């Protein structure tokens, strides 16, 4: 894995990390579960604080989807601990997920979380990893833009439905402008199937069919 930033479809690289919950081995610590690894630029910064509160507010919703959360920045572990204490004391929110202390930037460099054009801190990155330890999505945000945690909940739900039913999810699912909360049937691979599709499903054309779950 050395020298190659992991991409969608790759297995999440095996790494041992120190966190606010002690040492962990990834991705094995979450084997059989979905997990979201998210990096933030720095502790004790306003946008990052709003993000951690937003993640924690949805912590139980992620848990119901069999999805764990783990944060990361290049701060030291004592900084993470003090920041979590500050959030609890001042905002009355207890952060229940671990935060990786990547003070040597080894994990950040391995995962491609430091973008030189945006400084030496980690960018706001998201890795969504499935129960088979495969990376399913990677998103990068600049330091000045906080993330939308409801989108990550939507993504986990959509991945799970797609995996279970062999379907694709339309834009803005479940509130798509064309098919509402329905799902997309994968395109036909041959002429016979193409002709049958329009009889089996609601279709705009043979290559654009949809159904209710």
> Could you tell me the CATH number of the domain that includes residue 181?
3.30.1020.10
Between helices 149-165 and 46-57, what is the axis angle to 10°?
A: 40
Same domain for 127 and 179? Answer: no
Q: Which of 120, 148, 176 is the last residue of a domain?
A: 148
Asked if 149 and 143 count as a contact pair (C-beta separation under 8 A), the reply is no
- Quick check: is 144 in a domain? yes
- Quick check: is 2 in a domain? no
Predicted pLDDT of residue 114: 84
Query: What is the pTM (predicted TM-score) of this model?
Result: 0.94
Could you give the number of structural domains in the chain? Answer: 2
Catalytic residue among 48, 67, 203, 209: 48
Predicted pLDDT of residue 115: 84
Question: Residue 189 belongs to what domain range?
Answer: 166-213
Predicted pLDDT of residue 4: 81
- Quick check: is 109 in a domain? yes
- Quick check: is 3 in a domain? no
What contacts 33, CB < 8 A, 6 or more positions away? Answer: 66, 67, 68, 131
- Quick check: is 199 in a domain? yes
Q: Which of 148, 176, 195 is the last residue of a domain?
A: 148
Q: How far apart are CA 68 and CA 65, in angstroms?
A: 9
48 an active-site residue? yes
Q: How far apart are CA 64 and CA 79, in angstroms?
A: 30
Same domain for 62 and 92? Answer: yes
> Quick one: how far is CA 212 from the chain centroid?
26
Predicted pLDDT of residue 3: 57
Predicted pLDDT of residue 122: 86
Low-confidence ranges of the chain (pLDDT < 50): 1-2
Same domain for 31 and 111? Answer: yes
- Quick check: is 173 in a domain? yes
Predicted pLDDT of residue 193: 92
């Amino acid at each position: 894995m050395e020298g190659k930033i992991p991409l969608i479809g790759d297995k999440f690289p095996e790494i041992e990390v120190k966190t606010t919950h002690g040492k962990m081995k990834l991705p094995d610590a979450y084997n059989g579960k979905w997990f979201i690894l998210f990096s933030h630029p720095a502790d004790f910064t306003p946008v990052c604080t709003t993000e951690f509160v937003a993640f924690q507010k949805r912590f139980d919703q992620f848990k119901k989807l069999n999805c764990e959360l783990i944060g990361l920045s290049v701060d030291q572990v004592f900084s993470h601990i003090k920041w979590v204490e500050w959030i609890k004391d001042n905002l009355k929110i207890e952060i229940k997920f671990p935060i990786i202390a990547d003070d040597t930037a080894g994990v950040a460099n391995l995962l491609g979380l430091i973008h030189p054009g945006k400084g030496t801190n980690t960018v706001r990155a998201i890795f969504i990893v499935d129960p088979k330890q495969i990376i399913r999505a990677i998103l990068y945000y600049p330091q000045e833009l906080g993330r939308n945690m409801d989108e990550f909940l939507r993504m986990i739900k959509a991945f799970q439905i797609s995996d279970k039913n062999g379907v694709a999810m339309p834009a803005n699912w479940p509130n798509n402008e064309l098919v509402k909360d329905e799902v997309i049937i994968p395109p036909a691979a041959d002429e016979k199937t193409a002709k049958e599709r329009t009889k089996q499903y609601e279709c705009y054309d043979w290559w654009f069919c949809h159904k209710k779950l």
